[in-house]
Amino acid sequence: MNFTHRCTIPVTREALWQFLMDVPRMATCVPGVESVTPSGDDQYNGRMRVKLGPIHLTLQGVLTIQERDSQQWLAVARAEANDRRVGGGVHLTAHLTLVESGLAATELAVETQARFLGKLGEFGQPVIRKQADAIIAEFARNVAAHFRSATVAPPHEEEQSELAVPQPRGMPQPQTSASPLPVRPIIGMAVGLGLALLLLAVLPLPASPLLAWLLRGIVGVGLTLLGAVAERGLRLRWQRRE
């Protein structure tokens, strides 16, 4: 069975080539891949989970990079994987080609010849093609997201301050519209507390000690807060007049 897939990824051809040739890093973008470990001579052992129709497969096998041509932007890979539980496997050879598609975009073309063994060969071509299309499409999205997340972060505040244009001497500094720092209304709280003590001194208190202390607390806290609010309002009104 032969497959041909093409997708455009918004990254330069050189950057995409280097990413694809780093097989363990590239494999993190392949949906279903659980592990990839190098075993030498451009060979890698891997494990991948994939759903084919109603069956969930766990494919274990070997991937070999047979050719890397950075001048032609061409690579050839061969993979053999099997699922012992289901009793089937797949052997495939993939040709990858990169073609520039703009200033910062690259078309990835993948031509694959695949042979399905055992029970996997019993599935029809429409089911297999649908799953292959879904894997390639998600892979392209993951690669694009990988390069977006790897963009350079903006400089820190220290670096930005070094790049700022110095102000000539004698020129007034630009005024900001930020509001002044809040001032604690200490005076208002003190006035409110004083009024509370004066009021409690002249008011008759209940005979019950519990009610008397409750009344003292309510009056004291209430007038203290009222004094703080009143002072804050006066400060804001004064600032508006200025």
47-91 residue pLDDT tens: 999 988 788 889 999 999 999 999 999 999 999 999 988 888 999
Is the pTM here over 0.95, yes or no? no
List the chain domain ranges: 2-149, 185-242
**Per-residue pLDDT tens for 102-121?**
888 999 999 999 998 888 88
Question: Whole-angstrom distance between the N-terminal and C-terminal Cα of the chain?
Answer: 82
Ranges 117-126, 132-141, 192-201: which has the least confidence: 192-201
Mean pLDDT, rounded, for 160-176: 43
Mean pLDDT, rounded, for 32-58: 91
Choose which CATH entry (3.40.50.2000, 3.30.530.20, 3.40.50.300, 2.60.120.10) describes domain 2-149.
3.30.530.20
Ranges 83-92, 112-121, 147-156, 223-232: which has the least confidence: 147-156
